Amino acid sequence: MTRPPLPAEYDCDVLIVGGGPSGAAAAYWLAQSGADVLVVERKHFPRDKTCGDGLTPRSVRQLYEMGLRDQLSKSHRYSGLRAKAFGKELVLPWPDHPDYPDHGFVVTRSELDDLVTSNSEKAGAAVWQGAEAIAPLGPDASNGGPALGATITDKDHGTSSSVRAKYVVIADGANSRLGRALGVTRDRSIPQGVALRGYFTSPRHDEPFIESHLDIRDKENNVVPGYGWIFPIGDGRVNVGIGVLAAAERLKEINTTTLMDDFVDYAPASWCISPETACGPPTGGRLPMGLSVGPRVGPDYVIVGDAGGSINPFNGEGIAYGYETGRMAATYVGRALSANDPRILRAYETELQETYGLYYRVASSFMKLMGKPDVLHALVGTGMYSKSLMEWILRIMSNMLRPDERGPAELAYKAITALALRRSGDRFAEGFGLAPSD
C-alpha cells in the first residue's frame, strides 16, 4: 500500500540522511538518548546494496550492542577466513580479541539495513522511506555555512518537504549527493576501491568459513592487484565478488566485468559457480577509503560512513566503520544538543583521527605498494607459506590488533613490506623509506 504524502514542513532535532549502516546506527544511538530524530532513505526497504554481505567481528560487536543478538543468530555464522593464493590454502580463524566476538555473520544488505533501521525506529526515530535529501536549506551552506536541514523529495508522490533540523548527519553513502552540495570532495591521492559482486546458488552455501582469493588473474593469467571472494550466505546462495585497487598501475587496463567473469571461471569447481547458477547480473561500485572524503564536520552537520570515506583501505570493509562512525557522530551530536553548542561537533573529527588516522595512513601507503604486481606476488607468496604470518596479517588487515599491539601498527606495516622487499629485491625500496635489510 502506498503511504500518504510526506508533510510539506517538518521540524526535528536531528535529520539523518541515509538508512544504511552509519545512518541507522546514528539514529539508534541518538533516539536512545532521547533526541527527536528523523531518518530519510531514498529507497524503500528491503532494498539491495552492492556489498560482500560479510559482517566481521567489529560489525557484530556493534550490532550486539544495538540489541540485535537474537536477530543475528538466525543468519549464517562463520568462524574465519580461508585464504587461497598461488596454489596454497590457509584456514584462519578470527583472531582472539578481548573486545570482539570470535565469529562473523553473512547477511544480505537487503535484510541487514532493513533490520537495523527498523531497530532505530523501535528506539524512537522517525523513518521516511522513498524520501531523498537533495539540497541543504541553508542559503550559504555550499560556502561553509550551516545546513539548517534539507529539502526532501517525496519520490512516491513527486512532492517536496522542508525539514528543519538543529543538526544533520549525512550518511547517504559513496558519492553523497548532500555531501557534494555542501562542498565535500575526495582526496584523490588516497586509493579508491572498485568492487563487483553477484549471487550464485551453490551446494557449499553453508560453509563455516568465508573464502578469499588473493591472486585473482585476468585471461592472460596476469595477477591483478586486488582479491576475489566467495561468502556463503546459508540460504542456498553464495556472494561472489572481486575488489580491485583504484591506485593500481594497471587499473585503466582492467575491465572489472570481464575480470569478474574470469574469477567465476577460475573459482574452485566444488562451489559450482557458473553463468548457469547465477541469480542475476553482478552489480558494482566505487569505494572511497581511508577517510579520503571531507571535510567531515560543518557548522551544524557531520558526515559518516562511506559518505566520509571511512572504508578500511586494507580490506575494503565498510559496514563496521559505518556503524562505528555513526555511533561516534551520535555521541557528539547528542552532546551538542544537550549543551546547545555546535562547536562540540569538532570533537567528532578528533576522535576519527585518534581512532583510525594512523591505521588508515599505514593501510593506504601499504595498498599503494601492493598495487605493484611484483610486490603483491612477493608478499602474498611469502605469507602463504607461513600460517603464523598470515594470522598476523589477518589481525592487522581486519583492524583487530589487541590493545597492547595497537602502538606498533606502523612497525607491522614496515615489517610486512620489508618481507616483500626481501623477496623482490631492492628496486621498490626507494620512495618507501625501506630496504630489504630493514
Q: 40: domain range?
A: 9-53+108-187+289-357
Please, are residues 246 and 193 in contact by the beta-carbon 8 Å criterion? yes
The whole-number average pLDDT for the span 371-393 is 80
Q: How far apart are CA 379 and CA 381, in angstroms?
A: 5
Q: Does one domain contain both 155 and 141?
A: yes
Helix axes 373-383, 387-397, angle to 10 degrees: 120
pTM of the model: 0.93
Percent of the chain whose predicted confidence (pLDDT) is above 90: 71
Q: How far apart are CA 368 and CA 366, in angstroms?
A: 5
Q: What phi and psi, each to the nearest 5 degrees, are found at residue 272?
A: 60, 40
Cα–Cα distances (Å) from 282 to 54, 127, 290, in that order, read 17, 29, 26
Q: Which of 326, 357, 388 is the last residue of a domain?
A: 357
Q: Does one domain contain both 282 and 322?
A: no
- pLDDT at residue 106 is higher than 60: yes
Q: Which of 341, 357, 373 is the last residue of a domain?
A: 357
Q: Does one domain contain both 369 and 423?
A: yes
Q: Does one domain contain both 204 and 326?
A: no
- pLDDT at position 416 is 58
Q: Does one domain contain both 131 and 178?
A: yes
Q: Cell numbers at residue 342, please? A: 555546535
Q: Does one domain contain both 166 and 268?
A: no
- pLDDT at position 436 is 37
Q: How far apart are CA 418 and CA 438, in angstroms?
A: 6
- pLDDT at position 435 is 39
Q: Give the DSSP letter of residue 3.
A: P
The whole-number average pLDDT for the span 330-345 is 98
Q: Does one domain contain both 32 and 166?
A: yes
Q: Does one domain contain both 320 and 210?
A: no
Q: Categorize the per-residue pLDDT at 29 as very low, low, confident or very high, splitting at 50, 70 and 90.
A: very high
Q: Does one domain contain both 313 and 378?
A: no
Please, are residues 31 and 143 in contact by the beta-carbon 8 Å criterion? no
pLDDT tens digits for range 114-123: 999 999 999 9
- pLDDT at position 190 is 87
Instruction: Name the β-bridge partners of 159.
Output: 154
More confident residue, 245 or 132: 132
Position 89 in a domain: no
Position 113 in a domain: yes
Please, are residues 318 and 311 in contact by the beta-carbon 8 Å criterion? yes
Q: Which of 230, 265, 288 is the last residue of a domain?
A: 288
Position 58 in a domain: no
- pLDDT at residue 407 is higher than 90: no
Position 155 in a domain: yes
What CATH number corresponds to the domain at position 32?
3.50.50.60
- pLDDT at position 423 is 47
Q: Cell numbers at residue 240, please? A: 561472489
Q: How far apart are CA 134 and CA 160, in angstroms?
A: 10
Q: How far apart are CA 69 and CA 60, in angstroms?
A: 8
Helix (H/G/I), strand (E/B), else coil: 141: helix
Position 91 in a domain: no
Q: Does one domain contain both 167 and 138?
A: yes
Helix axes 358-370, 373-383, angle to 10 degrees: 110
Q: Into how many domains does the chain fold?
A: 3
Quickly tell me which residue has 611469502 as its cell.
Answer: 382
- pLDDT at residue 173 is higher than 60: yes
Quickly tell me which residue has 536512545 as its cell.
Answer: 32
Q: Cell numbers at residue 70, please? A: 537474537
- pLDDT at residue 432 is higher than 60: no
Closest CA to 299 of 359, 360, 346: 346
pLDDT tens digits for range 187-245: 988 878 899 999 999 999 999 999 999 988 888 888 887 899 999 999 999 999 999 87
> Picking from 6-10, 79-83, 329-333, 356-360, which range would have the lowest pLDDT averaged per residue?
356-360
Kind plus residue range of the DSSP H or E element containing 239: strand 237-245
- pLDDT at position 250 is 56
Position 330 in a domain: yes
Position 199 in a domain: yes
Signed CA dihedral, 290, 294, 296, 301: sign only: negative
> At a CB cut-off of 8 Å and minimum separation 6, what does 301 contact?
146, 147, 167, 168, 169, 170, 182, 345
Q: Does one domain contain both 373 and 326?
A: no
Cα–Cα distances (Å) from 332 to 233, 263, 339, in that order, read 36, 44, 10
- pLDDT at residue 155 is higher than 80: yes
Q: Does one domain contain both 344 and 412?
A: no
Position 399 in a domain: yes
- pLDDT at position 384 is 87
Q: Are strands 301-303 and 159-170 parallel, antiparallel or unpaired?
A: parallel
Instruction: Name the β-bridge partners of 326.
Output: none
Signed CA dihedral, 407, 65, 319, 167: sign only: negative
